[in-house]
Structure 1
Amino acid sequence: MPGRSFADVLPKVAVDTLERAVLRYWEDEDIFARSLARRRGRELFSFYDGPPYATGKPHYGHVLQSAIKDAVLRYKTMRGYFVPRRVGWDCHGLPVEVLVERELKLKSKRDIERIGIEAFNQKCRETVFRYIDEFTTTLKRLGRWADYDGAYATLSRDYMESEWWVFKQLWDKGLVYKDFRSTPYCIRCATPLSNFEVSMAYRQATDTAVYVALPVVGGSPTLPRHAPGLRGANQKLMLLVWTTTPWTLPGNVAVAVDSNKDYVIATGSKNKYYLNKNAAEKLQLNIEKTIKGKEIVGL
């Protein structure tokens, strides 16, 4: 057998000790800053790091995206690009406020006002900076190269003034307008919610559902060509809908269908119904005909 080129690996390698030694060397010798300095003036590769919420310890998702970002940026650096990268922290919004409310056992807006808005805001600041330290320590341990000393935080005055400056540029260009839209709203917090904030409160729940039969009315008294005949004047053709929010029904002006899904015309004890094929099978209705949703459009 040919001779081996590598020495045996010791069975008891203190990996964490080696890791800390490498990290300490990087920090003592300022390796990241030196790698940037060597490429300053080269073609720029811009990278903007979307700031994570500083409201908890890093989890697997943060570790995964950090590893991917670091790998791509190291590759670009090795290709000769100048790749400055600056981390940032999202410090605004409900996540930190809700976290502090839980820590202080505050149940309502009145509780916040009792301790004082200034004291509440200060606690929020302390909390985000506590988790910024957690994030920084973890990301450094992962070996991710970035400018941590120059990291930005959205609560800084410079950052907020920059945001207002950008908004002013949009305003001057006529790109800002006022309109109305439906958004999730938290009555307790007295504020609209983003989709992310809504998803944070997502829970599986068992709810009451209702089936509602809506009669096909208006237009010609003749049936659509795909509908079977009715038995007498008392039998009606209905659209069967399902909802867990029946209080929204009075505001509905139409029934939505998926043009590509399968629907059926089924017979109940009194009337005939248009409904989704899967629902008809679950309800054990007598299916007379299967059609595509597009055949119901405009009914």
Structure 2
Amino acid sequence: MTNKNKKYYPEIEAAANFPNIEEKILSKWASENTFKKSISNRDKSKEFVFYDGPPFANGLPHYGHILTGFVKDIIPRYQTMKGSKVDRVFGWDCHGLPAEMESEKEFGISGRKQIQDFGVEKFNDHCKESVMKFTKEWEVTVGGKKGWVDFENDYKTMDKNIWSLLFGHSSNFGIKD
């Protein structure tokens, strides 16, 4: 009896459809909670925390973010391969000119005087709201392309609890106030 017509392996396309393959892998990881399991199955291991970011939250991710994300992702993956429990905490930079410039553009104002006339508190409140406008797009792009990141326990530089951490570390760099 001959086995020449029997197929041992599934047929595959001659040219790989990489976006399709990527989608299948990401879907499988999501449905099986692979990222969370990679942390929880090491509960008793040495802990390593990787604080990722922070990018400005009021803009869409671009290739520069993805590239640096790939490079930074080496560190938590290496620690995971060494057997450590690795928390990957994503952060958002919610301060500074990008947030202010976006709000100025939206309100059609510019400069200190116009902000004061508009109302500093009202302007600041809008800046706080606007910086989180693109977080879902970041989750889709960064979560899928760059690697595994915990968006559920993220940090934001506008949260008061992060400042104690930042100022605590600043003493190591000779910063007094």
Q: What's the counterpart of residue 153 of structure 1?
A: 156
TM score, norm. by length of structure 2: 0.77
More off after superposition, 23-32 vs 7-16? 7-16
Distance in 1 (alpha carbons) for counterparts of 2:91 and 2:107: 27
- The offset of 1:11, in angstroms, is 5.1
Q: What's the counterpart of residue 4 of structure 2?
A: none
Q: List runs of 5+ in structure 2 lacking aligned partners.
A: 1-7
- The offset of 1:99, in angstroms, is 2.2
Which secondary structure state, in structure 2, belongs to the residue aligned with residue 122 of structure 1? helix
Distance in 1 (alpha carbons) for counterparts of 2:84 and 2:73: 14
| Structure 1 residue 86 corresponds to structure 2 residue 89 | yes
Q: What does 1:11-90 correspond to in 2, within 5 Å?
A: 15-90=18-93
| Gap change, CA 1:175 and 1:21, over 3 Å in 2 | closer
Question: Of 120, 137, 142, which aligns to 2:140?
Answer: 137
Amino acid at match of 1:176: K
| Structure 1 residue 119 corresponds to structure 2 residue 122 | yes
Q: What's the counterpart of residue 106 of structure 1?
A: 109
Q: Percent identity of the aligned residues?
A: 34
1:28-79 Cα shifts (integer Å, max 9, x gaps): 3221111111112223334232412223111222111111222342233123
| Gap change, CA 1:87 and 1:117, over 3 Å in 2 | same
| Gap change, CA 1:161 and 1:75, over 3 Å in 2 | closer
What is the aligned-residue RMSD (CA, Å)?
A: 3.1
Distance in 2 (alpha carbons) for counterparts of 1:120 and 1:161: 25
Which secondary structure state, in structure 2, belongs to the residue aligned with residue 130 of structure 1? coil
- The offset of 1:175, in angstroms, is 6.3
Distance in 1 (alpha carbons) for counterparts of 2:85 and 2:79: 8
- Verify the 8 A CA contact 1:100 1:127 in the aligned structure 2: yes
If you compute each CA radius of gyration, which structure gives the higher value, 1 or 2? 1
- The offset of 1:114, in angstroms, is 2.7
- Highest relative contact order (Cα 8 Å, sep 6+), 1 or 2? 2
Distance in 1 (alpha carbons) for counterparts of 2:23 and 2:70: 18
TM score, norm. by length of structure 1: 0.49
- Verify the 8 A CA contact 1:23 1:143 in the aligned structure 2: no
Which secondary structure state, in structure 2, belongs to the residue aligned with residue 125 of structure 1? helix
Q: What does 1:84-233 correspond to in 2, within 5 Å?
A: 84-163=87-166, 166=168, 170=171, 176=176
- Verify the 8 A CA contact 1:52 1:88 in the aligned structure 2: yes
Distance in 2 (alpha carbons) for counterparts of 1:76 and 1:162: 22
- The offset of 1:81, in angstroms, is 1.9
Distance in 2 (alpha carbons) for counterparts of 1:40 and 1:88: 23
Structure with greater helix share of residues: 2
Distance in 1 (alpha carbons) for counterparts of 2:36 and 2:23: 19
- The offset of 1:139, in angstroms, is 0.4
Distance in 2 (alpha carbons) for counterparts of 1:43 and 1:150: 20
- The offset of 1:130, in angstroms, is 0.9
Amino acid at match of 2:120: I
